[in-house]
Amino acid sequence: MSARTAVLISGRGSNLRALITASAAPQFPAEIVLIISNVDCAGGLALAAESAIESKIIPHKPYATREDFDAAIDAALIDAEIEIVCLAGFMRILSDWFARKWEGRLINIHPSLLPAYKGVHVHERVIAAGEKKSGCSVHFVVPELDAGPVIAQAEVPVMPGDTPEILAARVLEQEHKLYPAALKILAEGKVRLENGRAVFAS
Ligand code: GRF
């Protein structure tokens, strides 16, 4: 049985593409069955059409509060009988209510070696700090931004002369491998969130 998985996006969707590609393999334990975007111009929506996956645009602007917007997302997830939710470049901060409701089944990819460099403009800050390495992390989403327990990480070197764009591209290549791998172990039940910690099955 494949875990019914939704991917939430706001942009280009390269991680969405990696997840769709991985989940198309017969033995993959999760299936991407729903794509939700909060913007109608997200590049990732073209992928939904290409791969015949159901997609929904739920713009955040008409909703008076974060909770109201999140309730609309939640309703779409429930309607599609979603079991796992992957955030992939989804540029809205989710309410505490939503994060708690989906706790353990809601994951995100972030382009740094968390807990270092939470938030935005990661690559600029990594380079400015003179770091020798960076990377990406897939983590469980908890109410505090980018603070959930890490499921998997991949490292890359930071090279002399790197610009944020060059470093971003090096990290992104790893993201596309890491996210499917992390979704796989979650869908297989090999990692779970317990008492605020990621617990791995031996
Ligand atoms: C990725 O770098 C991801 O780590 C971050 O947002 C970016 C999304 O890129 N959360 P894409 O839309 O998946 O191409």
Give me the count of residues in the chain: 202
Residue 110 beta carbon below 6 angstroms from any ligand 1 atom? yes
**Half-sphere exposure of residue 125: CA atoms within 13 angstroms, side-chain side:** 11
pLDDT at site 43:
86
- Residue 15 Cβ contacting ligand 1 at under 6 Å: yes
Predicted local confidence at residue 186, as pLDDT: 98
C-alpha 202 to ligand 1 mean position (Å): 30
Answer yes or no: is the C-beta of 12 below 6 A from any ligand 1 atom: yes
The DSSP letter of residue 58 is -
Phi, psi of 90 (to 5 degrees): -90, 115
Assess contact for 42 and 48: CB atoms under 8 A: no
Q: What is the pLDDT of residue 42?
A: 75
- pLDDT of res. 30: 98
Q: Where are the alpha helices (DSSP H) in 60-163?
A: 66-79, 96-101, 122-128
Is 121 marked active-site?
no
pTM: 0.97
Closest-CA residue, ligand 1 atom 7, reads: 89
17 lines ligand 1 (CB under 6 A): no
pLDDT digits (tens, 9 = 90+) for 117-158: 999 999 999 999 999 999 999 999 999 999 999 999 999 999
**pLDDT at residue 9 in the model:** 96
Mutate-to-test residue for ligand 1 from 172, 173, 176, 178, highest number of ligand atoms within 8 A of CB: 172
Q: What is the mean pLDDT of the chain?
A: 96
Q: pLDDT under 50 in the chain at which residues?
A: none
Tokens 């998997």, residue located: 152
